[in-house]
Amino acid sequence: MTIKEIILPDLGSTTDVTVVEIAIQAGSIVKKEDTLLTLEGEKASMEVPSPYSGTIKEIKIKVGDKVNIGHLIASIDETEETQENLEKTFPKSTPPAKPAQTPTPTTSFSTGNIHAGPAVRMLARELEIDLSKLKGTGHKNRITKEDLITFIKQKMSQGSGLPTPPQIDFAHYGVIETRPLSRIKKISATNLHRNWLLIPHVTQFDEADITDLEIHRKSKAIEAEKQGFKLTLLAFIMKACVAILQKFPQFNASLDIKMENLILKKYFHFGIAVDTADGLVVPVVRDVDQKTVFQLAKELGEISQKARTKELKPKDMQGNSFTISSLGGIGGTAFTPIINMPDVAILGISRSYQKPIYQNQQFIPRLVLPLSLSYDHRVIDGAEGARFITTLSSELNTVR
């Protein structure tokens, strides 16, 4: 028997957090990354994944406990016999089942005995939805995120005249395969749908002449490689964005929940969209204004690696004030990035290309970078959006 202890990892909280839901019980067979429990702090809720695959032997906490980093959660058996049970429980030909859950009553802003996880309750509070009006389809009538999404879609269809998507049997037309979305894509789908519907998007396009900047970057790239990281163009773009955000502070802001005040942020924490095998994640690089281009390039490499190896913690993806999504390594000429709420703007970067530009009575090949700026039209008008992106373009024209 190989017994291992599961310890609460660093979740980025400086104070104790509360155990609000335990998704396992003694004897539960879990796989690595399955949710063990849900915690809730003053400002956010978070799920704690299992670091191992095996059979839960003993649970060391209970609902309502206050816990912090290093707290013993449970013990788990990783023996070969347990691995055989895992293969029987989660056959390779079928998607893995969810671990056994022990739902507990939680409360929302309505009264009554409501079964719902903290993520569902947080989303319900943000959208001002009374959970007592929902009928849960989970175990013991537990309200799931899918129940909330269904409720929202029904209300949107009724109130805005949006049609209900047609129910189509695609197998009628040929062979099909049903492939479940990853957990990250399910979460992203909900957030992106909400952001697109709640924020009136406008996208402004421009190009920056980065010929001199690219020459400068390459001249410094060898030095960066000696230090063990790549000096990417994105690091220079981040520094340029800080300079422009300082001139246009309304882009480094959030609209309050009542849509009456603009909260201007004095810090510069950038969310950087990272493509992974399971979907898009947005880790945050903090204090961009206080770091050099070399420091940013090194940190970008580190967070990208953590994102792709599923080592990001909840605190690594919180607190952004502005977001950048770069598709330069993939291609495309332009795109419309969706604003990452509660931000009011997001910058999209496409692949640079050679373009003939007329200078000194002749056409000269120059390297240009396509820029796509999406902004919240409730707080930023078209003139401000145009000024921001043209000023950014000029900033990138100058070697830093």
Question: Which residue spans within 261-361 are E strands per DSSP?
Answer: 262-264, 270-272, 274-276, 279-281, 284-285, 322-326, 345-349, 353-359
Burial class (CB in 10 A: 0-12, 13-18, 19+), 302: middle
Task: For residue 346, give the nearest of 156, 216, 199 by alpha carbon.
Answer: 199
Task: For residue 237, give the nearest of 214, 219, 215, 218 by alpha carbon.
Answer: 214
What pLDDT score was predicted for residue 112?
A: 43
Global pTM value: 0.63
Q: What is the 3-state secondary structure (H, E, C) of 261-276?
A: CEEECCCCCEEECEEE
Would you name the residues annotated as active-site residues?
377
The CATH 3.30.559.10 portion of the chain extends over 201-397
What pLDDT score was predicted for residue 43?
A: 52
Distance CA 263, CA 296 (A): 26
The CATH 4.10.320.10 portion of the chain extends over 105-163
Which tokens belong to 357?
């530009």
Neighbours of 396 (CB within 10 A): 25
Q: How far apart are the first and last CA of the chain?
A: 60
Fold designation for 201-397: Chloramphenicol Acetyltransferase (3.30.559)
Architecture of domain 3-89: Beta Barrel (2.40)
> Contacts by 87-96 with C-beta closer than 8 Å and gap 24+?
89/29, 90/29, 90/31, 95/180, 96/31, 96/34
What pLDDT score was predicted for residue 372?
A: 97
Q: What sign does the CA torsion over 393, 394, 395, 396 have? A: positive
Class of the 105-163 domain? few secondary structures
Q: Within the chain, which residues score under 70 in pLDDT?
A: 11-15, 41-45, 80-113, 118-119, 126, 139-140, 156-163, 399-400
- 98-117 burial: b if 16+ Cβ within 10 Å, else e: ebebebbebebeeeeebbbb
Alpha helices in 54-205 (DSSP H): 80-89, 118-126, 145-160, 183-198
- pLDDT single digits (tens) 77-105: 887 555 555 555 555 444 444 444 433 33
- Virtual CA dihedral for 77, 38, 144, 166, nearest 10 degrees? -80
What pLDDT score was predicted for residue 146?
A: 76
- Residues 343/320, Cβ–Cβ less than 8 Å: yes
**Residue 214: strand, helix, or coil:** helix
